[in-house]
Structure 1
Amino acid sequence: MLKRQRFHHQVAMAGQVKDAITGQGISGAVVKIIDAPDEFINFVIFQTKVLGLGNLPMQWYSLNTNLNLENQDLNPEIQNFQEQLRSPYLKTADKLQLFQDILDDNHLSTQHKFQAFQEICDYLPNHPKTKQAQLGRTQTISDGWFYFMDLPDGVYQLEAYLTDTQLRYTKSQCQVTISSKNAKNINIINQNQNVDLLDNFKILELKLMPTTLLGKITSADDSEAICMAKVQIQGSENYTFSCKEIIKQTQGEWNYRLVGIAARNTPITVIVSAQGYTRQQKEINLQTGEIKSLNFQLNSN
């Protein structure tokens, strides 16, 4: 019988998902283990076979229609499964059966089955019924913190991302090695306890790069910065107001900044308006995770 080693509810790894531009923690980010020691992978597959996907300790909700379309180095059968998940002609029940067929395929390795498990979990987004991670997947709390408990020793690859954000942020990955010999005797008794208590623990940091637009709004008369000019993305709720001083940072000089806006396949129209000045608009192309500068010089009325 397959057994999973236990560490008395010991925290195996903890970390925070942050906005790479603002440095603020991101709430609700999915953090998942995408590669792990065989002992962990075998346990996940065993649980999935025994309980079935619908009975796993997760809470499932609506289908994810914004699936990642990146090319991945997957086994051809898993690539085919990935494509079928995206098919609008297959019912959800049929897709679940395809996943079950993969689990029952003795020619596929547990690693390939684990990749299929990740694909079906991305298609059927979930969040744990408790704040504790389940089967290598969790979500960050309000200040971006997350943790995993009771993991066997070995090297783990983690990935963090936001699901329904319309390509506002890129993904982030990191690798961590867990060794019980070096682990601190750290326990979380109260799941609402502040993670800052893990002072002696190695903290992971995953930064998601937001799609960002910034620039200067100045007067065409004297090139002075214009304060309280409204900057809005046409057709969206994304807007901000310019400040009086020009800020100089590594990303560029700006007195307005829009962080985490939705990238599109078509140009984005940016509209700037300020009292006493003629309204102006420009178009710009933005890819997910790009930081671009767009300046405006407004003429007075």
Structure 2
Amino acid sequence: MLEFYLLNPKPDKTEEKKTDAKTKKVQRKTVQVAIAGRVLDYETRKAIAGAKLKITQILQGVADFGYDLYLLAVAQLLISKYSRLLSFYFHTLIEQRLLQKDSSKLDFNTFVSLKGLQYGSQWKNMTNRPDLQITASDGSFYFCNLPPGKYTLAVFLPGSETRYEKKEVPVDISEPEKINVKIYDPKEINVEKSDIYNEEIEIIPTKILDIFLSPTGIKGTITGEKNQPIVNAKVQIQGSRESAFTNKKGEYQLLGLLASKSDKDKYTIIVSANGYQKKNSRPLELKQGKVINQNFFLEKRNPKLS
């Protein structure tokens, strides 16, 4: 059996809990992480900060958004004049009485639309929404309180233009699992003397994802005589400050480059190393989210010409 401590519980809904000879009111807010994970660079396995994840497609039933709808004043929406609702979608929504009876039981699309109405013009620029998240510095993200169903996450790096691929990730959220838990009263320091409540709760199994975005770029190996790797060779893009140096294995990477839109946007690579002749590549065309391999063999410089 799982054990929980109600530390600083926030109001959600008040229920009466009976234990032996006691009846006590317990207030709590349930927040469950439905999807969590990280967005990573496919080539380097490093975290990508600032990536945007947006739920773009949903096939699911309804869920309880009672606490989150507290500030939406659903009742006022139902009795307000239709002229106050500028969106045709909300006219239809209310006319069809989708919010009547139990207004906290909504499908996710309706819930998100109502939240958008609440925040108005600020909604488009918000980065922490039920349907949208931005990755932290360690590439992590999470979505909370999603009802069971099939979702599609659109993942991309805003402002990067074509430096990374755009990816759509399907995610299935399972039905909640019922488990028995023990809940301890946070006001009692001594757990043994604390009021204990046995309760059956529903837990949404968290979907853990590592999402890899492939960068646009060039990689390869620089070798010399007898295919020996050349260490610390400089690999630079002609007409640009973008450059890299080879490691102990002679490997280099130039990642996060803009994709080629025309022949003018093709890349020419210049390779140089101490004691070796410079070498240029042919013009290379880069496609979004693709890394091409470009290896180089350098010949030793003639001492008489140096």
- Provide TM-score, normalisation by structure 1: 0.60
Secondary structure of 1:217's aligned partner? strand
Give, as a single letter, the amino acid of the residue that structure 2 aligns with 1:55: Q
Structure 1 position 7, deviation (Å): 6.6
- Structure showing greater radius of gyration is 2
Equivalent residue for 1:213, pick from 204, 215, 218: 218
Report if aligned partners of 2:33, 2:206 keep a CA contact under 8 Å in 1: no
Measured in 2, the distance between the counterparts of 1:153 and 1:225 equals 53
Q: Could you tell me how far apart the structure 2 residues matched to 1:183 and 1:215 are?
A: 52
What's 2:47 paired with? 25
In structure 2, the CA distance between the partners of 1:235 and 1:205, relative to structure 1 (3 Å rule), is same
- Structure 2 residue runs of 5 or longer lacking an equivalent are 1-12, 14-27, 62-106, 182-204, 302-306
Tell me the residue number matched to 2:113.
45
Instruction: Write the distance in 2 (CA, Å) between the matches of 1:237 and 1:136.
Output: 38
Q: Secondary structure of the residue that 1:18 maps to in structure 2? A: strand
> Within the alignment, does 1:245 sit opposite 2:249 as a pair?
yes
Identity of aligned residues (%): 37
CA gap 1:242/1:51 in 2 versus in 1, 3 angstroms: closer
Higher RCO (Cα < 8 Å, 6 or more apart) = 1
Distance 1:51 1:166 in 2: 28
Paired residues for 1:254-269 under 5 Å: 255-265=251-261, 266-269=265-268
Residue in structure 2 matched with residue 136 of structure 1 by the alignment: 131
In the alignment, the residues of structure 1 paired with residue 242 and residue 133 of structure 2 have an alpha-carbon distance, to the nearest angstrom, of 28
Say if 2:196 is the partner of 1:231: no
Distance, in Å, in 2 between the alignment partners of 1:158 and 1:136 is 9
Task: Show the 5 A alignment for 1:140-155.
Answer: 140-155=135-150
Number of equivalenced pairs:
201
Structure-to-structure mapping, 1:1-301, within 5 angstroms: 8-36=30-58, 37=60, 39-52=107-120, 54-56=121-123, 121=124, 126-128=125-127, 133-179=128-174, 181-182=176-177, 201-219=206-224, 221-245=225-249, 255-265=251-261, 266-282=265-281, 283-301=283-301
Q: Contact between 2:166 and 2:213, CA under 8 Å: does it hold in 1?
A: yes
C-alpha separation in 2, matches of 1:208 and 1:183 = 36
Give me the whole-angstrom Cα distance separating, in 2, the residues matched to 1:134 and 1:237: 38
State the shift of 1:204 in Å: 1.5
| Mapped partners of 2:113, 2:206: distance in 1 | 29
Could you tell me how far apart the structure 2 residues matched to 1:48 and 1:222 are? Answer: 64
Gaps of 5+ in 1: 57-120, 186-199, 247-254
String of CA shifts for 1:101-135, please: whole Å, max 9, x gaps: xxxxxxxxxxxxxxxxxxxx5xxxx453xxxx313
Larger strand proportion, structure 1 or 2? Answer: 2
Alpha-carbon separation, structure 1, partners of 2:51 and 2:300: 44
Q: How far did 1:18 drift?
A: 1.3
> How far 1:140 moved relative to its partner?
0.6
Contact 1:16–1:145 under 8 Å retained in 2: yes
> How well do the aligned residues superpose, as a CA RMSD in angstroms?
2.7
The residue identity in structure 2 corresponding to 1:202 is K
Amino acid paired to 2:220: G
Q: What do residues 18-41 of structure 1 show as CA deviations (whole Å, max 9, x unaligned)?
A: 111222221110011111247111
Residue deviations 1:242-293 (CA, integer Å, cap 9, x gap):
12325xxxxxxxx222232222223111111112222222121110111211
C-alpha distance in structure 2 between counterparts of 1:127 and 1:46, whole Å:
15
